[in-house]
Amino acid sequence: MNKFLFLLLFVPALLFGQQLRVDTSNSYITYEASHPVHDWSGTSDAVQGVVIIENDIPNRMAIAAAVSSFNSKNSNRDSHALEVLDALLFPKVSFYSEEMDLDKDSLSLNGELKFHGVSVPLETVASWTKVEDAYILEGEFNVQPSKFDIKLPSFMLVKMRDNMLVRFRLELLTFVP
């Protein structure tokens, strides 16, 4: 069903706009989390997605990454995170937007962030630049895991902070079917 919906939304773009795809070899999403005892981060370089542009202006976007693709360089932490995040039930984190406003190199995004089976509105501003044949979308935003019905893990009887910084850099290339 999700593939059908995805096709339904983006097939018209092939007729009326230009489709850009995430270049997975040059794109990533990183989260930074914190606990009073230590801070850590995890990165996924397995980001997938498309951005539809018309007249060099983005107007629709769908980006996703598998929860299991985030690597904090600590296999025990990553395994525990998969349990806490119910990764078997909710294997992806995704962002979808049809509300964008481009002002020079600044792209305002208004969409839905879906994580752990919960969709939360997300507004952020990112840089949007064209470099040769690619577009670069780069930015950051804060997110509270508790808004996604995630029980915050604890260490030494103290829960992690209910705030994560998410940074992203997506290199987008023209898709030619």
| pLDDT tens sequence across 129-156 | 999 889 999 999 999 999 988 887 676 6
pLDDT-based confidence at residue 13 (cuts at 50, 70, 90)? very low
Percent over 70 (pLDDT), the chain: 87
Answer whether residue 74 shows pLDDT above 70. yes
Q: Average pLDDT of 96-123? A: 96
Mean pLDDT of the chain: 88
| Residue 3 confidence (pLDDT) | 52
Cβ–Cβ under 8 Å, residues 17 and 98: no
| Residue 134 confidence (pLDDT) | 94
- Rounded to whole angstroms, the Cα distance separating 43 from 66 reads 11
- Rounded to whole angstroms, the Cα distance separating 150 from 80 reads 13
Query: Can you spell out the DSSP letters for 105-161?
Result: TEEEEEEEEEETTEEEEEEEEEEEEEETTEEEEEEEEEE-GGGGTPPPPEETTEEPP
- What predicted TM-score, i.e. pTM, was given to this entire model? 0.85
| Residue 16 confidence (pLDDT) | 56
Selected residue with higher pLDDT from 42 and 9: 42
Decide which of 2.40.128.110, 3.40.50.300, 2.40.30.10, 2.40.160.60 is the CATH code for 19-174.
2.40.128.110
DSSP summary character for residue 36 = S
